[in-house]
Structure 1
Amino acid sequence: MITKSKTQLKQGMLENVMRQFNHAADIIGLNSNIRKILSITNNELLIHFPVKMDNGDVEVFTGYRVQHNNALGPYKGGLRYHPTVDIDAAKALAMWMTWKTSLAGLPYGGAKGGIQIDPSKYSNAELERITRRFTYALGDNIGPEHDIPAPDVNTNSQTMAWIVDTYMSTKSPAERSKNQHVVTGKPLGSGGSEGRDRATGYGVFLNIKLWAEKKKVNLKSKRFIVQGFGNVGYWTAYFLENEGAKLVGVQDAYGTIANSDGIEVSKLYQYMQGNKGSIVGYALAQVVDKDSFFELDCDICIPAALGNQITADNAAKIKAFLIAEGANGPTDVEGEEILLKNGVGIIPDILCNSGGVIGSYFEWLQNRNGELWQLEEVMAKLEKKMKEVFEKVYETAENRDGDMRTAAYIIAIERIEKAYVQRGIFP
């Protein structure tokens, strides 16, 4: 458990990830020189670039790409389009990616980035031009063996298709076919992988199921709430509902709804498709005050939106017995301390939502090797990998009499430490 003085101010995501890292580093006695390396990023890119809008005006946008560490392989991490994107957020998210890929045993490091933008204010044609211009500005700072972006908040397979097309157009004709795996999360027709759309959500569900089996909890009829009903939230809810669990509350960027009798996942999803992707106005649920979302009566809470959602302000009001972190950094240090004191289980982000980057790795491998895997093969490989990682984290937590987040960090950091010890520091 990470303690914190009451006199300290509420921390942001970067402070949270550093506190989590230092806590685990202290426990394992991490080599002081390696701690210095892992405490900072390798590269931080800040890019201002102009784009012509539909009305002929030019807007200047700010984009970021932070490359935290590549000791284990190429940088890997998503691109998000959101007003909260800044250098500190990108640094925090890049660090989480380093721990996540290491924990999963993948040959990747960690990176993250995006554009400080509210995409709802721009047309599809404008978003395409913004994406292509950003890709061009990034240049060779990304690459299939160097830094491999993927979808994140407010980006999707279409965004990745624009990126790969723009990036490949900057290469010679002979080199273009060798660069298809510069991004993952692409549409199937553009080199994407079967199952990539549901990989993160399925991973969240699978971690919940594995945790429940360890605790001898039957998921049938268990009530769950989901914050964020995009790709991750929807697929998590879909698989949980198939297991017999009941969705009773949903929150997105526009509103909050609840129904103690249950909300049918497919009906809500279909409604959103015709409602500009929003849950607002859904007639088969009641409107709930947004600040009361985490107080809803439920068994499982799945924050699958943005960071720092569960804090000291609301953690004590949570009724769920399990938090499954579909988002990156949704629980801050103070919030986690309260939850653990109250006996609430937490499946940490770097484990819980790692199905996405594992699925991305499978796509990258297929592109690299000229292979096409069937959906059943992808999902079987994903399940096998995630079960192995979950077992390792759970066993470490049990053996050390600690929480699962600290256990996950220990495993991730020790793998990177081993690489540095074996290879040494140049020169």
Structure 2
Amino acid sequence: MSKNQNKTGSYSFFNCIEKNFDKAARFISIEKGLLEQIKACNSVYRMHFPVKIGKEIKVIEAYRVQHSHHKLPCKGGIRYSMKVNQDEVMTLAALMTYKCAIVDVPFGGAKGGIKIDPQTISSENIEKITRRYTSELIKKNFIGPGIDVPAPDYGTGEREMSWIFDTFLSLRSGDVDALACVTGKPVSQGGVRGRKEATGLGVFYGIRELCHVKEDMYSVGLDVGLVGKKIIIQGLGNVGYHAASFFHESGAIIIALAEREGAIYNEKGLNVSKVFLHLKNNGSILNFPEATNIENTEKALELKCDILIPAALENVIHKNNANRIKAKIIGEAANGPITPEADEILDKKGVIIVPDIYLNAGGVTVSYFEWLKNLSHVRYGRMEKKFRENVNAEFLKVIETVCKKKISIEEKKMILRGPREIDLVRSGLEDTMINGFHKIRDLKKSLKIENMRTAAFVLSINKIIDSYEKLGIFP
């Protein structure tokens, strides 16, 4: 067993990224030392700071990693978890670099983490820790609208981002662009509509685009389109829930949903909203009235389906269960859900894998839109909504005059409505995901690359190289 593997034979997340990078490097003609520079993390800030919790002073371990400065600012979430460690944060920062490059978001990759369990700490103490962490970042110049812009991640959300913004503003008073120091904020504090569901919606757009490609669908024996496709989703957190909702609304059939405690199954389909309500009321998806329980959540991944969406943990598909996976398409909504060995097994079986560094880039894409909104100091749609409605009204008058027919009130409402912020955000996300998919697919075909993951890494690395060359850094 390799030193990079655990007892079950699964690779560490860090090693998975390195192996995928090295596979892609075979298709890139550039000096090895320059590839090593792209792979390496530029800055790692490890900190320990004291916080008074109750009557005791606790020393908190935390990190902020800036993987690449080929573009600034750096961008990446902050997670609160007892599993936070330097290797994990470095790996996630690298992943952010590659994601941003693929979807043409002009950021370098970064990531942060605080080693705490937010479930066991009061809101008051989480606020203390968050504000102290932010002040430590400010001291070392590791946060700022043009330097490094955090966002929510596992264990964090709008509340924590509000505290980060408020702390930054109090220590950088007068900074006209202070709102852009962090994304994922509430709309009332400069956030953007559509951010919560962005990653799940990006997953939906990416898989939907694949399902529109006849050649790819026929290669796995499926018809074109999403309607009627049987889907299994592992994880009903923010990403999994919204992805499941959008697939359900599109006419796909969600036959199974899996969580830590087990899974539920109904071959005829599950109503996602009802399942989520059951989860909120009971603290578990198990014993949902319209489904059968599956005690071992991993067994749900092995059920027969068209599309499998792992949206929770890393390394859930590995060499020990890859041969039992019956899905024809796997969409990686989570980071690193498939190990390199499982990748090879699934490739040989002809399974189409839509990789994480593309598929779950919806969150950072919409974070980019929020950052731009904060820098421009104007809400999306404010400058054009009424103008567009007035223009549409004039067109409508002409149509009614020429056709000599009145249009119904319902049709008028649809035609006259100008774009709202959420319409523009979703439109931008949809366009980004569609373009990203076809760039990866076209590169895969032109270079005869074996799978989409390697093609995605090649695309990403080439874009980073291009940025460095324009900066004059590479000889």
Q: Does TM-score exceed 0.5, indicating one fold?
A: yes
Cα distance in 1 for partners of 2:208, 2:301 equals 21
Q: Deviations over 1:282-336 (max 9, x none)?
A: 4433332123131122221111112222111221111111111111111111111
When residues 284 and 119 of structure 1 are mapped into structure 2, their CA distance, relative to the original with a 3 A threshold, is farther
Cα distance in 2 for partners of 1:154, 1:286 equals 30
- 2:110 aligned with 1:104: no
Name 1:58's counterpart in structure 2. Answer: 57
Cα distance in 2 for partners of 1:30, 1:17 equals 19
Name 1:15's counterpart in structure 2. Answer: 15
- Give how far 1:275 is off: 4.2
For the 8 Å contact 1:34–1:420, the answer to whether it is kept is no
Cα distance in 2 for partners of 1:286, 1:156 equals 33
- 2:469 aligned with 1:421: yes
Name 2:454's counterpart in structure 1. Answer: 406
When residues 391 and 292 of structure 1 are mapped into structure 2, their CA distance, relative to the original with a 3 A threshold, is same
When residues 400 and 195 of structure 1 are mapped into structure 2, their CA distance, relative to the original with a 3 A threshold, is same
- 2:141 aligned with 1:169: no
Q: How does 1:19-30 map to 2 (within 5 A)?
A: 19-30=19-30
Name 1:393's counterpart in structure 2. Answer: 440
> Residue 69 of structure 1 aligns to a residue in which SS?
coil
Cα distance in 1 for partners of 2:348, 2:186 equals 44
For the 8 Å contact 2:259–2:297, the answer to whether it is kept is no
- Give how far 1:409 is off: 0.9
Name 1:287's counterpart in structure 2. Answer: 293
Name 1:117's counterpart in structure 2. Answer: 116
Q: How does 1:61-210 map to 2 (within 5 A)?
A: 61-139=60-138, 140-172=141-173, 174-175=174-175, 177-210=176-209
Aligned residues: 419
Identity of aligned residues (%): 40
Cα distance in 2 for partners of 1:108, 1:407 equals 21
Cα distance in 2 for partners of 1:63, 1:284 equals 44
Name 2:257's counterpart in structure 1. Answer: 250
- Counterpart AA for 2:448: D
For the 8 Å contact 2:261–2:297, the answer to whether it is kept is no
- Give how far 1:75 is off: 0.8
| Structure 1 range deviating more: 134-143 or 234-243 | 134-143
For the 8 Å contact 2:441–2:455, the answer to whether it is kept is yes
Cα distance in 1 for partners of 2:36, 2:203 equals 32
Name 2:418's counterpart in structure 1. Answer: none
Structure 1 stretches lacking a partner, 5+ long = none
When residues 77 and 57 of structure 1 are mapped into structure 2, their CA distance, relative to the original with a 3 A threshold, is same
- Give how far 1:360 is off: 0.5
Cα distance in 2 for partners of 1:347, 1:63 equals 32
- Give how far 1:21 is off: 0.8
RMSD over equivalenced CA pairs, Å: 2.2
> Residue 413 of structure 1 aligns to a residue in which SS?
helix
| Structure 1 range deviating more: 265-274 or 339-348 | 265-274
Cα distance in 1 for partners of 2:123, 2:280 equals 16
- 2:381 aligned with 1:365: no
The alignment's TM-score, normalised by the length of structure 1, stands at 0.93
For the 8 Å contact 1:238–1:266, the answer to whether it is kept is yes
- Give how far 1:240 is off: 0.3
For the 8 Å contact 1:106–1:358, the answer to whether it is kept is yes
| Structure 1 range deviating more: 330-339 or 266-275 | 266-275
| Structure 1 range deviating more: 90-99 or 209-218 | 209-218
Cα distance in 2 for partners of 1:273, 1:60 equals 34
For the 8 Å contact 1:300–1:324, the answer to whether it is kept is yes
- Give how far 1:232 is off: 0.8
> Residue 141 of structure 1 aligns to a residue in which SS?
coil
Name 1:270's counterpart in structure 2. Answer: 277
Name 1:383's counterpart in structure 2. Answer: 430
- Counterpart AA for 1:420: Y
Q: Deviations over 1:172-217 (max 9, x none)?
A: 2x22x42111111111111100111111111100111100111253
- Counterpart AA for 1:381: G
Name 2:411's counterpart in structure 1. Answer: none
For the 8 Å contact 1:72–1:102, the answer to whether it is kept is no
The alignment's TM-score, normalised by the length of structure 2, stands at 0.84
When residues 294 and 151 of structure 1 are mapped into structure 2, their CA distance, relative to the original with a 3 A threshold, is same
For the 8 Å contact 1:160–1:186, the answer to whether it is kept is yes
Cα distance in 1 for partners of 2:372, 2:15 equals 34
